A and B are shown apart, each in its own frame.
Chain A
């Protein structure tokens, strides 16, 4: 599967199938700081992502002072 990462934008290949929870763990990310979007759809932790899917790992932390 293709995994798109942000800040900076980059793309990696990752073997599937794998659950969202396992993918986040293997990428060493904090689930509180990201959303996982598979083929344009928000997916929960227990969803399985397959080899033919494109996954975006979207960071949610933003902001300087306002």
Chain B
């Protein structure tokens, strides 16, 4: 295989582009696709301060790396989620990356500051771990960005993530979710602007990016993610993609171009009806206390739940 650009030996094929790339031109492609997404969707203006939501995984570290290489003023924020050794290890990857680039990584520990970890929160709230984890992370990323005076929060959601979420929302016609599944969520009272600069890049490309740039990331899957519906959706979409390259891109970008606007009025109506949490002031659909503060009330100080990993065989 030869690189489409320089005809040198290729290291990766990207079938939806019907092209192969050498290391140098693949890394350039990743930067160019990210820059295009930022420009097309007006994600980040020159001079703005960006807070990157970092997990220690490939996507968030690649997102941070590309934003830095593109010249953005990007600091990281990592949350200690209390998922046993997995969280400690993930945080270490984020710290090592920040040290290697000489950039600032902000940290908060959920158990130390808020008195609960994800396994305990999941049990107390009677919600699946990924739901409690996502809710906790969104709340703390918003808070960190607003408290720190950042203009925008960037997350490492890639094309596969967005296609899988869209697939799930469409399967159940969750029209409120469809109305707010956008690459940019504008800032509103109590919410910072949120952007997904990697939406033009696939999950396999982000892993390859990290390998080629020698970015060490946590490869192991979260021990609490087994059975997660989105993992199943990704596998289903990849089964389609392998015989029909470009399907995930067409599904997601076709939705944005041709269908997304139809669902926005419902989402905007819902946004307009949000209240301020009586405890922390964050926007909430609850009449008084937001879901995060309610969880802190119920789970904070509880005896931690022991994790029993359910391992999923994926390769």
Supposing A6-B220, A31-B242, A44-B20 touch, asked if A62 and B58 sit within 8 A by C-beta, the answer is: yes
- Tell me whether A63 and B225 are in contact (CB under 8 A): yes
- Name the A residues within 8 Å of B117 (CB-CB): none
- Name the A residues within 8 Å of B12 (CB-CB): 42, 44
* Interface pairs A-B: 10 shortest CB-CB: A64-B130, A65-B134, A60-B207, A32-B238, A59-B315, A59-B314, A7-B314, A44-B1, A60-B204, A64-B225
Q: How far is the CA of A5 from the CA of B314 in the complex (A)?
A: 9
Q: How far is the CA of A44 from the CA of B157 in the complex (A)?
A: 25
A residues 35-66 near B (Cβ < 8 Å) are: 35, 37, 41-46, 57-66
- Tell me whether A30 and B238 are in contact (CB under 8 A): yes
Supposing A42-B208, A44-B1, A44-B13 touch, asked if A65 and B57 sit within 8 A by C-beta, the answer is: no
- Name the A residues within 8 Å of B20 (CB-CB): 44
Question: Is A29 on the interface with B (CB-CB < 8 A)?
Answer: yes
Q: How far is the CA of A28 from the CA of B35 in the complex (A)?
A: 36
Show 8 residue pairs from A and B whose CB-CB distance is below 8 angstroms, ordered by the A residue: A7-B315, A33-B315, A35-B204, A42-B23, A60-B206, A62-B221, A63-B231, A65-B228
- Tell me whether B59 and A62 are in contact (CB under 8 A): yes
Q: How far is the CA of A31 from the CA of B291 in the complex (A)?
A: 40
Contacting residue for B315 out of A34, A43, A44, A45, CB 8 A: A34
Supposing A61-B203, A62-B57 touch, asked if A37 and B230 sit within 8 A by C-beta, the answer is: no
- Tell me whether B13 and A58 are in contact (CB under 8 A): no
A residues 2-17 near B (Cβ < 8 Å) are: 5-8
Contacting residue for B224 out of A7, A29, A59, A64, CB 8 A: A64
- Tell me whether B242 and A32 are in contact (CB under 8 A): yes
- Name the A residues within 8 Å of B161 (CB-CB): 63, 66
Q: How far is the CA of A42 from the CA of B220 in the complex (A)?
A: 18
